[in-house]
Structure 1
Amino acid sequence: MRATMKLKQLFKSFLRLLVKIKKKYSSGYKNILIMHVSFIMIVLIEIVVRIELKKIELLLSAILLVLIYFSLISFINKFFNFIFEIEKRPENIYRLSPKDLRRMKFLYLWKSIIKNANVSEETFLQTLAFFNSNSEQKANTFSQSIGAISCDKKGEFYQLKMGDDFNLSSLRNFLLYISDEPSQSIYKKLVGLNDKIFVLTSEVEQNNMAKLAHEKSNRLLAPSLKELTAFLLSSDKEQEFISILSKCLLFKDVSPYQINGDVKNENNFFGRVEILREIISNNSANYLLVGARQLGKSSVLKALERRYEQNELCYHAFTLDESGDVMTALCKALNLVEGSSLEQVVDTIKAEKQKVIFLIDEADKFVQNEKENGYLLTSVFRKLAQEGEAMFILAGFWTLYEYVTLDYQSPLKNFGKLIILGGLEKEACRELMLEPMERIGIQYEDESIVEKTIELCGYRANYIATVCDVVLQSLEHSSISQKDVDDALESDAIDKMLKGWGAMSANEKVNRLDRLIVYMTIEKESFRLGDVVTAIKEKGLSIDTQKIDESLERLVLGYVVGKHKGNYTYRIPLLRERLLEEDLAFLIEGEILGLK
């Protein structure tokens, strides 16, 4: 009887412990479990108290009850532990295996859990359906999730093609392979192929396949089960997809930096906020966007396109070829037969229900043609704008700037508001260096690396992007050091990038004058127009001061030098450093001979 009392006291102690646990945790499921265990314990206690047992039998019963209790607790913890964690941290559902996702579906509070994790019911159910679907269904769901523009079955593979706006320009095409074969069999079958292949296999083999892909010694791409769950549940599937790729490919293969052409993806477009705000908020004026090559004019036009599309405005965007033939481009944009008259073009524009916005890139040749033809189209465009029928945004460089500012007889002078594109805002430069790197899991060792690189590149977006891209070409770890950046700055790619400044005009003699001025002044911290005129006269050249002044204007517009109160200084320290390493006397002599 005394043993029975002790056993009863022992179980009462267990019960008090359970009550404390109940008070500490508010989880609904844990409360229910504690209540059930408490009830079982009380019943067992009563059985022990009421039944007369011999001491040895009593001891064995006590041991058995304790074993049953701990076995029950172990089973409960093993089976329901993930539920307790999810209730406390709903975001953990992004890391659940398909098996646990299916279990969660049978819970009473599953809808509340996914809501707290910012996952819609539709997305959750589609994720479950994906794991239970066949190969063709998986291929279609996967291709739609990553925004592929096509998914074609080619034998055992699906060939996927990404759009121009995909964040990684190096991965426009790849293959998708779906099979339930063992991971080693898949590896032996695919490892020798030259294509990048994304592999989806069974739930049993997917993690093994991911380990093989994460070696980065092959061209296979495969997510772990948890990564696949996060991808399917995420509202930003493209970013999750890129995160998966960055674990399977070398950093150079997942570089998010676009160094050629305009930026087509909004995630890779930074800054120019004031320019965009002004143009978008004022659709009653025309705009002339002027800047040097690769300074971001086309990217600004693309950004405007995306915003006009979001606002469901009527717009047409096109880039002119070397002929500058606007009429052909207008006919194509307005779905008119090629060769349609100007009157038909005007009538079509006026027939639209809302104002038509035209974004015209590479407009220099068009402007030159207009001068030769008496500015016929410019006059029509101006009238359409004044009548509220259309809005025109032209982007170009020196010819457009020259006819707008230097040719006082040009109708373009008051055609639209002139916006000169300069360097990127400092904060936008920081975002350009940091955000794309963070998407692929890369950090900088020190904040000073970012600041120094921005200053060195003179806030030019294309220079910063090129430096970052070159760093990734040889990066073998997830942290960028100052040495990594310094090594990149010494590469041929950077030298090639810096050479474009000396050929800003189609006229080689004009380019020679630009280069001569730079070579003669590059050693100076600052200089004035008079300094340049004097230096050129001392070299025995007779060049009109107005031509010299125009050359300086072109260098300012080309973002080579800056001008403040008549003083000129060099904008890009990196360019100045490179030029100071050259044989300037020899280069000066060469340009002088070319100008004589």
Structure 2
Amino acid sequence: MGLAALFLATLSALYYLRLYRHPLVRRLSMEPMELLRLAPAQLPQARKLLTRTRRLDSVLRAAGVEGSALDSALEHGGQSAKERARQLAARLGVTAEALTGGLWRLGLGDGFPLNLNECLLCLPDDKQPAPALLSALAAEPETANRVVVILHPAESEQSRPHKAADDPGNLYVAPDAAGMTALLLSPDPVDAFSRIISAQIRLTRISPYQTGGGARRESMFFGRGQLIAHVMNRDLTNYLVVGGRQLGKSSLLQALARRYRDHPGVDCYYLGLHDATLVPYLARELGLAADTDLEALIAHLGQGEAGHRALFLIDEADEFVAAEVARGYATLRKFRSLSEEGRAYFVLAGFWELYRHVALDYQSPLKNFGEVLQVEALEPEACRSLATEPMARMGIGYREEAVLARLLEATGGRANLISIACNEILKKLGALKAEERRRHIDEEDVREALASRNMHMALDGWENAISDDPSEARLGRMVVYATVSAGRFDLGGLAGALEAAGAGRIPTRDLEKTLELLSLAYLIGEEDGEYHYRVPLFRERMKKRAPERLLADEVAGSA
């Protein structure tokens, strides 16, 4: 009896020794994240082995995988297309709409990390051969010019669409087996889905980096936490948002609009003006006739539901403000009365025209209209996030910290320049031949992006954009041309440099006002009476354009 017990104990020990030494158990015990890289067909065995070795809970916990997600993943391949679409949509936090041809439309929304508002989901049954599936997709009108994600439940059939998706001539996405598991198990399924799409769709088509018009997608809005909190954590009031062009005023207003979207008791409207006209745009937003006049608009706002307030975020307001000055601020006086009554509130964003009448015109009623918020550089950590997080969502990283540091230092905290550089980098990576493709950014990529035509256009656009007044713009250009080579200067040195260039004696107050203009434009900064250039890349660019000759041309042209 003793020998029999010993024999059984030995067999049991050998069994468990073999079980614990199983390659899959050892692999997942040492690296729990490897669970997300298994093929779906390996998941049943992995769960069985980990359960028997009592390591399932610890591996799932270390990998950040919910037990319910593993259960759903194990059931996924055997479910109907409708159930699979519902499950995937739920994991991504989006909606799935059934279309013709066995397709589903996923509405991805503005929170999706890539520049992709929707995609199609193709979920064939396990008996449909891949060649027939690809032929059907090619003939299906719904797929024209749309990204199609193909998820075949049979791994042997998925390999054909996966290979077809590498052809840049189509818009197919078909992950390999490990990609499918990551989509089903990842603690961040949206990130996993983004990486899957980015691996097979041209980067230029899905680049999340916008180079104008503000950050319309929440996933691309970084920083400005203090400004957002300052507005959101207080009772509604009026604000005047000032700052240079392309510094992020539009992004800030659009971010506020998204945050007020579901705010109880507040109806928020975002308007981007194109000229001095405002009332017709407000009327349209409120559902009124386009010919509604100011008095009728004010009356409508004054009759709003008790406890319900309107908030208007008015972007590009400079021309409107200039027209208001000529009208004696007739519209803004009435708007202020509405705010005092608690009916409607207004946030106006603009550049020099708005700033001029807020900061430099001491008789302007705008001084009492609302609180001034100035938008300057993006916070350093937000700059880093803007340059790295969208890239990481596409599986792209910087080869070395020094490469990233060069990009951030050169762009000087300007979000638009970071976005332009990153977009140029994605263009280059996306254009590489198949055998040259890589998912890292090196020093040469950054150098070429900073020297690109689009970057030069962004850097050179300041000369006429700093002011609509030709004389102000000309003096602003002369100040830059006279000082950019030295880099640092004071008011006296500036006056002397302009006189030496033949510009004559320029009134000190005019120079001070011009320095304020250039500071608001985020071209220069001031510390203890000494001025410096804020964006190294801008200064590098200007030094190559022969600023001394440009100054001489300006002086000759103003004679």
TM-score range, shorter chain: 0.7 to 0.9
* 1:343 matched residue in structure 2: 298
Deviations 1:457-516 (A, max 9, x none): 111111112112212221331222212211222221221221222122233443222222
Structure 1 distance, partners of 2:553, 2:137, is 57
* 1:513 matched residue in structure 2: 475
* 2:112 matched residue in structure 1: 166
Q: Are the structure 2 counterparts of residues 458 and 311 from structure 1 closer, same or farther at C-alpha, using a change threshold of 3 Å?
A: same
Question: Within the alignment, does 1:303 sit opposite 2:297 as a pair?
Answer: no
SS in structure 2 at match of 1:277: helix
- The total of aligned residue pairs comes to 536
Structure 1 distance, partners of 2:93, 2:316, is 30
Q: Give 1:138-157 correspondences, 5 Å limit.
A: 138=84, 142=88, 146=92, 151=97, 153=99
Contact 2:40 2:74 in 1 (8 A): yes
* 1:49 matched residue in structure 2: none
Could you tell me which of 370, 374, 384 is aligned with 1:430?
384
Could you tell me which of 166, 179, 182 is aligned with 2:129?
182
Contact 1:221 1:245 in 2 (8 A): yes
Question: Within the alignment, does 1:571 sit opposite 2:534 as a pair?
Answer: yes
Contact 1:364 1:397 in 2 (8 A): yes
Q: Are the structure 2 counterparts of residues 226 and 310 from structure 1 closer, same or farther at C-alpha, using a change threshold of 3 Å?
A: farther
Q: Give 1:349-498 correspondences, 5 Å limit.
A: 349=304, 351-475=305-429, 476-498=437-459
Deviations 1:144-171 (A, max 9, x none): 76566785736575566654443222x4
Structure 2 distance, partners of 1:277, 1:362, is 22
Q: CA deviation at 1:576?
A: 0.7
* Unaligned residue ranges in structure 1 (runs of 5+): 22-32, 35-72
Q: TM-score, normalised by structure 2?
A: 0.82
Which entry has the higher C-alpha Rg, 1 or 2? 1
Structure 2 distance, partners of 1:252, 1:323, is 32
Q: Are the structure 2 counterparts of residues 391 and 120 from structure 1 closer, same or farther at C-alpha, using a change threshold of 3 Å?
A: farther
* 2:280 matched residue in structure 1: 328
Contact 1:526 1:568 in 2 (8 A): yes
Instruction: State the Cα RMSD in Å.
Output: 3.9
Deviations 1:254-295 (A, max 9, x none): 433222221133332221122122222222542211111211
Contact 1:183 1:205 in 2 (8 A): no
Contact 1:517 1:532 in 2 (8 A): yes
Contact 2:260 2:268 in 1 (8 A): no
Contact 1:314 1:357 in 2 (8 A): yes
Q: TM-score, normalised by structure 1?
A: 0.77
Could you tell me which of 466, 489, 494 is aligned with 1:527?
489
In the alignment, residue 413 of structure 1 is paired with which amino acid? K
Structure 2 distance, partners of 1:287, 1:551, is 25
Q: CA deviation at 1:101?
A: 6.0
Q: CA deviation at 1:364?
A: 1.3
Question: Which has the higher relative contact order, 1 or 2, with Cα contacts under 8 A spaced 6 or more apart?
Answer: 2
SS in structure 2 at match of 1:304: helix
In the alignment, residue 542 of structure 2 is paired with which amino acid? L
Identity fraction in percent: 32
Question: Within the alignment, does 1:12 sit opposite 2:10 as a pair?
Answer: no
Deviations 1:1-22 (A, max 9, x none): xxx99xx58x836724745x7x
SS in structure 2 at match of 1:205: helix
Q: CA deviation at 1:131?
A: 3.3
Contact 1:316 1:333 in 2 (8 A): no
Q: CA deviation at 1:575?
A: 0.9
Could you tell me which of 450, 455, 464 is aligned with 1:503?
464
In the alignment, residue 317 of structure 1 is paired with which amino acid? Y
Q: CA deviation at 1:177?
A: 3.7
Contact 2:238 2:339 in 1 (8 A): yes
* Unaligned residue ranges in structure 2 (runs of 5+): 430-436
Tell which deviates more after alignment, 203-212 or 427-436: 203-212
Deviations 1:397-444 (A, max 9, x none): 111101101112211012222122111111221222222222222222
SS in structure 1 at match of 2:155: coil
Q: CA deviation at 1:566?
A: 2.4
